[in-house]
Structure 1
Amino acid sequence: MAALFGASIAGLTSVVTQRTQAKAEWLAHDRVRRQDLYNEFIEEASHCYVHALQHDEPDLAALVSLFAKISRIRVQSSTEVAREADQVGRKIADTYHAPKRTFLQLREMLADGSIDILGRFSDICRAEFDLLRAQQFQ
């Protein structure tokens, strides 16, 4: 009876361990997938924003690609990350209607930090990654 009980406990422990490892692997893969998407979004948003600061006519192909990434973010991410990505996209679209900036004005924006429309997005993403890391080791 003791041998049967011991074998049952060992089998149960093995199942729990495998399940825990599978969850950790899935969360790690999910985190990498999100990091890649967020990096792509940041790159594309940066290019679109600089274009919007300097041009009246939008680069429609780039904007479509940016908003496609925002839609992917909505599917894969927390509501807060998706909401902030949407805010960045709207800010970029609105910038096409604002007065165009000269190179000197862009340098001033760099110096005072006002050019950074992705700071809050980055902070929210970092908080999401911290939460995902914590879940991975539970």
Structure 2
Amino acid sequence: MNTIEVVAAIVYNDAAQILCTLRSHAMHNGGLWEFPGGKIEKGENPCEALQRELREELGIEVTLEKTPYGESQVPHGEAVIHLTAYKAYHRGGTFHLTEHAAYLWLDPAYLSSLRWSPADLPIVQKIYEGAPPFSS
């Protein structure tokens, strides 16, 4: 089975809220929430891919923790999506949405109030279980 390598950022702001992005209805799993990110392109390492995706799709800059926070795998047609999530801290930029319908900053305790994309659910659960916010 083919594996699609995807990265996502758990982006914290100064108030320790987490950035949540709503998938547009034109996307697979449209109308569900996710942590922003995307596919790793050939020749990129995961952190480079994540920085690029956040600039292209949201117009933001972040500081990333280099160690993955969590992973998940979900079936996607004839393939498997392997998602690796990294904690990040929002540094700046002007939000512009190119792939998403909306975004919001949410206190970690309320993440479960949203309808999440299946690949993001294990990450949401790990955060909800009380993992500390961004640490560096």
TM-score range, shorter chain: under 0.3
- Decide which structure has greater helix share: 1
Looking at secondary structure, tell me which structure has more strand per residue.
2
* TM-score, length of structure 1 as denominator length: 0.24
